[in-house]
Structure 1
């Protein structure tokens, strides 16, 4: 099989939104809005071992990254509205975890989203293999401050018919706020109380 891929063969785009008005038996100050966009497309490496994934990654990742970034930003009402973000990928049963990782862990995918929202933090992620209806789990963190615990979020949903055995599902997620009623502090408080260097917690 040739690795010369012109563009990804996209079967569907799915969007998901979750807006919470009451959390912990108490009304929230502003709606807690989380959202995601997912692309389901043919896995060009399904059912075989391919030594060089790079040509396919370079062809697929920018198309999916740009498309999903635009969808998520539109759902938020603008990149500046997004405070927390993350990504996820699920490869169907005839693929490798490496296939899901390959598409999402290249800068040719994630940089579209980072630039659209003005982010500094890395995109937290999950990479799984599974059948259709496998839960898409998108972990998120603050786009600027990775130690801001109020923005450690998880969005989960599923697509009943995806991924198929020979497909890859990739999703980007975002949130316009952190958790309502946040009251567990940030990691910097723990570091200071434990005598660690807040700016250099590893001590190196």
Structure 2
């Protein structure tokens, strides 16, 4: 593995009640986060292939950790998202190299499909700063009930020469959705939109 991982954390959120209404079954979100050494911290490098390769490794590792934490079959995952925060000695392009060229394919394999784009965010930050992970339905971007997000933070990460990389999954959409749009039972899952 190219990634030099200092730390992995997994967060599971289960919502059982909203606005005084019971949510049954509960809606669940999970995020798996890896804190890795940034091999290019502190200096400009033209070729970011090593970070692209690390993205593929982490797409698989973090995707599988999330599915395992939810305790469901991979095909039962409904939403996904990804995010990265570079420490102060890194640049946003380092986060982009991890998230975009190669992380998606192994993540889709971990959740058995995934026709839609994986929503993403990237930022620069330091220890204890919140990382927001956007979420969208894995097979159809127009499913409004699944426009959501999850935020996580680690008190000691990312340090200046690190990158915090996260993948989030859900087993459902938002609780009590009522803003219309394409419903889950209407998904075709062919073009990633509907």
- Do the two structures share a fold, i.e. TM-score over 0.5? yes
Question: What CA RMSD, in Å, does the superposition of the two structures yield over aligned residues?
Answer: 1.8
Quick one: which of 123, 141, 153 aligns to 2:118? 123
Quick one: which of 132, 153, 171 aligns to 1:137? 132
Q: Where does 1:86-165 land on structure 2 (aligned, <5 Å)?
A: 86-106=81-101, 108-117=102-111, 118-165=113-160
Q: Where does 1:49-64 land on structure 2 (aligned, <5 Å)?
A: 49-54=44-49, 56-64=50-58
Residue matched to 2:162? 167
Query: Is the aligned partner of 1:17 residue 2:2?
Result: no
- Cα pair 1:29 1:180 within 8 Å, conserved: no
Alpha-carbon separation, structure 1, partners of 2:52 and 2:153 = 27
Alpha-carbon separation, structure 2, partners of 1:137 and 1:173 = 10
Alpha-carbon separation, structure 1, partners of 2:135 and 2:3 = 26
- Cα pair 1:36 1:173 within 8 Å, conserved: yes
| Larger Rg computed on CA atoms | 1
Q: Displacement of 1:116 after TM fit? A: 2.2
Q: Displacement of 1:187 after TM fit? A: 6.4
Gaps of 5+ in 2: 184-190
Residue matched to 1:29? 24
Query: Is the aligned partner of 1:67 residue 2:61?
Result: yes
- Cα pair 2:53 2:98 within 8 Å, conserved: no
Alpha-carbon separation, structure 2, partners of 1:152 and 1:58 = 27
Q: Tell me the matched-pair count.
A: 183
Residue matched to 1:43? 38
Alpha-carbon separation, structure 2, partners of 1:61 and 1:182 = 33
TM-score w.r.t. length of structure 2: 0.89
Gaps of 5+ in 1: 1-5, 189-198
